[in-house]
């Protein structure tokens, strides 16, 4: 399973970073970046499965506007902002990381507004 490889690479990278951080902080930072890239390389092929499933769901939903792409954007904003915030925290800039998370939350609210208004419109049509 991929989770074992991801966890193993993450743990090895973390141990190496902690061990080398005092003596060679530049090398520790390089190991951290390489570890992150390796983990992302394990994850990226899985996006094909997710994308195929979302396209199938999108084709099953009838109506003039489908919310699947919008929901995918919302999830992507959540993951990207969380990832960016954690990287900032790794660099010791947790304040900037918090601002990235706040920006992501605001963008998620903005992207969610059409879904919320669509649901309210559907509910208002159902009520007498």
* Residue of 28, 38, 24 whose CA lies nearest to 91: 28
Q: For all residues of the chain together, what is the average pLDDT?
A: 86
pLDDT of residue 64 exceeding 60, the answer is no
Angle between helical axes of 68-90 and 46-60 (0-180°, round to 10): 150
| pLDDT confidence of residue 65 | 58
Question: For residue 63, is it left (φ>0), alpha (ψ between -120 and 50) or beta?
Answer: left
More confident residue, 61 or 43: 43
pLDDT of residue 81 exceeding 80, the answer is yes
DSSP 21: T
């Amino acid at each position: 399973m991929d989770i074992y490889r991801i966890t193993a690479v993450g743990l090895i990278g973390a141990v190496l970073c902690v061990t080398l951080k005092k003596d060679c902080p530049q090398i520790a930072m390089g190991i951290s970046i390489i570890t992150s890239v390796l983990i992302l390389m394990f994850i990226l092929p899985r996006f094909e499965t997710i994308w195929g499933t979302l396209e199938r769901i999108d084709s099953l939903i009838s109506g003039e506007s489908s919310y699947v792409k919008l929901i995918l954007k919302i999830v992507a904003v959540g993951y990207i902002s969380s990832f960016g915030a954690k990287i900032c925290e790794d660099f010791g800039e947790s304040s900037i990381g918090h601002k990235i998370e706040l920006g992501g939350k605001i963008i998620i609210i903005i992207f969610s507004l059409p879904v919320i208004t669509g649901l309210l419109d559907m509910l208002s049509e159902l009520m007498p």
